Amino acid sequence: MSASSLVAEAVWKAIESAGSVTDEQLSMLHFLFGKNLERATRIVDQRGVKRIFGEPSGRSIFQVVGESRRKEEYFCFAEHYCACYSFFYDIVNRGEQLCCKHQLAARLAAALGACIEDKVSDEQLALLLSKL
Ligand SMILES: [Zn+2]
């Protein structure tokens, strides 16, 4: 892992355990993620992060709205994957960023308890995942 992703992890862990974010943490995240953090906070403010839990397993996936007017939604895992174009282009192909704005929004909303929660059966969750 790169130094910046280790720093990011430490900041996330602190936010998650406090359930809130300080100005200092926000400015560190901003330093690490730049404009994507601004975009992510806007998504969180608009209640644009849904967390879908499968029952009975309790496994979950995030569904995050995009920012364009078409309001598309992307399935994503906060730490590993997003279905958006930027994830493949900027992160997987070019390795220029640690994660996309949807992943940031998902992580931030989860840490702050700001997700809309939804429950489906594990079968329905598996079906969603099979379409990724
Ligand atoms: Zn994304």
| pLDDT 10s digits, 48-94 | 999 999 999 999 999 999 877 677 899 999 989 999 999 999 888 88
Class of residue 63 by CB neighbours under 10 A (exposed 0-12, middle 13-18, buried 19+): buried
CA-CA distance, 88 to 85, in Å (whole number)? 5
CA-CA distance, 6 to 12, in Å (whole number)? 10
State pLDDT tens for residues 13-37.
Answer: 999 999 999 999 999 999 999 999 9
Q: pTM for the whole thing?
A: 0.91
Instruction: Report the separation in Å between the CA atom of 122 and the middle of ligand 1, taken as the mean of its atom positions.
Output: 24
Contact 51, 115 (CB under 8 A): yes
CA-CA distance, 50 to 52, in Å (whole number)? 6
Instruction: Report the separation in Å between the CA atom of 66 and the middle of ligand 1, taken as the mean of its atom positions.
Output: 8
pLDDT category at 97 given cuts 50, 70, 90 is confident
pLDDT reading at 129 higher than 70: yes
Work out the average pLDDT over 113-131.
95
| Beta-carbon neighbours within 5 Å of ion ligand 1 | 82, 84, 87, 100, 102
